[in-house]
Amino acid sequence: HLRRGPLLNPGPTLSLDDRAEVRSFFLRFPLNECLSMMEPLLWQCGKDSNHGLESIPPETLVLWSNSVIATDCFNTLIVWSGRQVAASPQHAAWRDLCLSHLASRSKDRFPVPQLHVVNENDSMSRRFTSRLAPSHDDSLDHNLTNFPALSAPQLEAIRGKFQCHDPEADPSFRRWFWNVASASSRSKEVGISLCE
């Protein structure tokens, strides 16, 4: 997640000055703010949640069409709505719950983070999905172990959202980790950068 966040990733909108400013904040701010700079914090509400926000991991397998997700990336706040929940009568209430949660988390934050409200099929939803770890590329056993609420058809539907994903250019964390940690790895000899 560190390489996707505002500290290392230049992104399409951050200039060198903006990144330098975020790095200086990282050295001075409290732990909770720094954690959101390193890894996006996500909360989900929707049809399968218990009428409130529940914390979820920042992975692509959380992109369920029947949920609304609130994301805090320190300098960017995102509310993402799935396709099925957008047609639901409770959608406005769930979206407002996410917006109020993000507003309370960032009320004393300087500089004020940008807020994006996006839907599943919007072109701007890539701002959100690019910050998530590509766990959809892991094996079926790993995915069903880490997300037991998912069924195999739901998993295939989520994988279908990433048809253009190149697993060699952006490997999942588990694939990257086993490439580094396996006994046959040459990473000790050549080294592996966070930016690769």
Exposed, middle or buried by CB within 10 Å (0-12, 13-18, 19+), for 184? exposed
Give backbone dihedrals phi and psi of 156, rounded to 5 degrees, phi first. Answer: -65, -35
User: pLDDT by residue (tens digit) across 86-118?
Assistant: 888 999 999 999 999 999 999 988 788 999 999
Tell me, what's the pLDDT at 126?
Answer: 84
Tell me, what's the pLDDT at 96?
Answer: 96
Lowest mean pLDDT among 72-81, 115-124, 170-179: 170-179
Tell me, what's the pLDDT at 176?
Answer: 67
Tell me, what's the pLDDT at 38?
Answer: 84
Of residues 7 and 30, more confidence is placed in: 30
Q: Can you name the residues that pair with 81 across neighbouring β-strands?
A: 68, 119
Look at the block and give the residue holding tokens 């701002």: 127
Give the ranges where the chain is alpha helix by DSSP (H): 16-28, 31-38, 83-86, 91-105, 126-129, 140-146, 152-160, 173-181, 187-190
User: pLDDT by residue (tens digit) across 15-66?
Assistant: 778 778 888 888 898 888 888 888 889 999 987 666 689 999 888 888 888 8
Please check the confidence at residue 146 and state whether its pLDDT lies above 90: no
pTM, full prediction: 0.79
Residue 110 DSSP code: S
CA-to-CA dists, residue 167 to 69, 100, 162, angstroms: 25, 36, 10
How far, in Å, CA of 172 to CA of 138, rounded? 7
If you count them, how many residues does the chain have? 196
Q: Which amino acid is at 49?
A: S
Tell me, what's the pLDDT at 52?
Answer: 85
